[in-house]
Chains A and B, each alone.
Chain A
Amino acid sequence: EAQVTQNPRYLITVTGKKLTVTCSQNMNHEYMSWYRQDPGLGLRQIYYSMNVEVTDKGDVPEGYKVSRKEKRNFPLILESPSPNQTSLYFCASSPPARDEQFFGPGTRLTVL
């Protein structure tokens, strides 16, 4: 089944404790992206990657890092999480046209 998977789905952590949210897709898509979704603010892009070893900042990159060492994986790294990063995070992937994005199931992160 073609899909985007994210792990973990739910995470509660404390301020300053480094964490990684994994994202993997099995559709051989070049383009991958991370979004956060907050009430009243909608979906906002954090980082995106147009291909392996190519990443770029989205609208809200502060406090996040990403890497794209393999085509199928695009992990999101929070080096020192803070409470304002409490949010619902979505990973997405798409073929070269970048318009028809397929979303993962989401990761609900709470930073205390």
Chain B
Amino acid sequence: QKEVEQDPGPLSVPEGAIVSLNCTYSNSAFQYFMWYRQYSRKGPELLMYTYSSGNKEDGRFTAQVDKSSKYISLFIRDSQPSDSATYLCAMTSDSADGLTFGKGTHLIIQP
């Protein structure tokens, strides 16, 4: 079981809004959770990394993990047009497996 579900969007919000991006997963062995941002024609870049359950904050970004519900979230405060991109969640267990990615959510921040 390696399935990760992520709404592809597009999600369009006005500048300054709080954005909530989410992923659900089925494999209870996943312990490491990441959010990547991918601009058009670029490779994914790591935004946030969390281990197990809880919250992690970095500037305008907050990553939240609820392992009991198998649900992770990324919140973006005071969203900017430069935040417009595709956001990919990714996760892995502590085994030798690679990352399992969601399909990505296309986010559009309207000026």
- Of B2, B43, B96, chain A has the most CB atoms within 10 Å of the CB of B43
Chain B's nearest CB lies how many Å from the CB of A5? Answer: 11
Bitwise, B70-111 to A at CB < 8 A (1) or not (0) is 000000000000000000100010001011011110000000
Are A48 and B43 within 8 A (Cβ)?
Answer: no
Are B44 and A90 within 8 A (Cβ)?
Answer: yes
Nearest chain-A residue to B41 (Cβ)? A106
Nearest chain-A residue to B104 (Cβ)? A42
Which residues of chain B have C-beta atoms less than 8 A from A43's C-beta?
44, 88, 101, 104
Is the contact region of chain A dominated by helix, strand, or loop, or is it mixed? strand
Number of residues of chain B lying within 8 A (CB) of chain A:
22
Q: Which of B19-52 contact A (CB under 8 A)?
A: 32, 34, 36, 41-46, 49
Bitwise, A89-108 to B at CB < 8 A (1) or not (0) is 01010000011111111100
Residue A50 at the chain B interface, CB threshold 8 Å: yes
17 of the cross-chain contacts (CB-CB < 8 Å) are: A33-B99, A42-B6, A42-B101, A43-B88, A43-B101, A48-B98, A59-B2, A92-B43, A98-B92, A98-B99, A99-B32, A99-B34, A99-B99, A101-B46, A102-B46, A105-B43, A106-B41
User: Could you list which residues of chain B lie within 8 angstroms of chain A, going by C-beta atoms?
Assistant: 2, 6, 8, 32, 34, 36, 41-46, 49, 88, 92, 96, 98-99, 101-104
